[in-house]
Structure 1
């Protein structure tokens, strides 16, 4: 596993921390564990897959609506997940 340089320098998780473990759990077939490690992993992988296949097969050529919408949805999921992680971390430390 690759170490997170942001976490190494600052001591707090970055918005992508847990993605590697989540993908490994997903490859092993454990969806629940994958979701617990990093909730945005599955939507992010779907978005990447659509983006890569879309560039090969010229999908979503008109105004890139699906890509923009997917980007906003996945970005929101990442942001909410990260805020909840930081909120829970803060409550564990202060209690």
Structure 2
């Protein structure tokens, strides 16, 4: 039993050290050159898996609300309706708002100045 736990931990450690090699590229960013509303989520989850909360929040702040909402909804669905549909809708609304606010903040602080700099009014 102890051997299997050690094996699992070593496999996890090996995978987590090389997880950056398996990240999926963002097709939206590839086509537009601009981050999509979900860009940073994969790196955020990897940082969270390494126990680095600060780095996770730097990569993608809505990752934690997304993961909490996913866990709550999955548990509720597996238990067949422990949570009412209105509570789940509220969780979706809060999480969706966090994603939208994060994306607007990213656009305003990172991309808008670059775009405006490209337009020289004379």
Whether the TM-score (by the shorter chain) exceeds 0.5 is yes
What is the aligned partner in structure 2 of residue 79 from structure 1?
Answer: 100
Q: Give 3-state SS (helix, strand or coil) of 1:54's partner.
A: helix
Corresponding position: 1:89 with 2:110: yes
Corresponding position: 1:67 with 2:88: yes
Q: Extract unaligned runs of 5+ from structure 2.
A: 1-22, 118-122
Q: Extract unaligned runs of 5+ from structure 1.
A: none
Please report the TM-score for the alignment, with normalisation by the length of structure 2: 0.72
Q: Which runs of 4+ in 1 moved over 6 A?
A: none
Please report the TM-score for the alignment, with normalisation by the length of structure 1: 0.92
Offset, 1:90: 2.9
Offset, 1:92: 4.5
What is the aligned partner in structure 1 of residue 14 from structure 2?
Answer: none
Structure 1 vs Structure 2 CA RMSD: 1.4
Q: Give 3-state SS (helix, strand or coil) of 1:3's partner.
A: coil
Number of aligned residues: 93
What is the aligned partner in structure 1 of residue 62 from structure 2?
Answer: 40
